[in-house]
Amino acid sequence: MPKFLDDIVTANFAIRDILPGHFMELATLPLHHRDPFDRMLIAQAKYEGMHLLSADPHFAAYDVPLICA
């Protein structure tokens, strides 16, 4: 296993699959932010009811629990 994946497991982080519900949530997001990867992270966090950790000021425009880094 690559060291990066070992570090993820050691830190007790979970690797999240992209589910159909995430795409449904993504379709409801306003275009406050145009980065498609970031938008998917926001959609996943909203759909799963999780907090999102980011230093990106655009994330605050979305109704998602945010931890500012």
Predicted pLDDT at 45:
95
Query: Can you tell me whether residue 37 is helix, strand or coil?
Result: helix
pLDDT in tens, 13-55: 878 899 999 999 999 999 998 999 999 999 999 999 999 999 9
pTM of the model: 0.82
Predicted pLDDT at 20:
98
Tell me: pLDDT of 1 over 80.
no
Farthest-apart Cα atoms in the chain, separation: 38
Q: Say how many Å lie between the first and final Cα of the chain, rounded.
A: 29
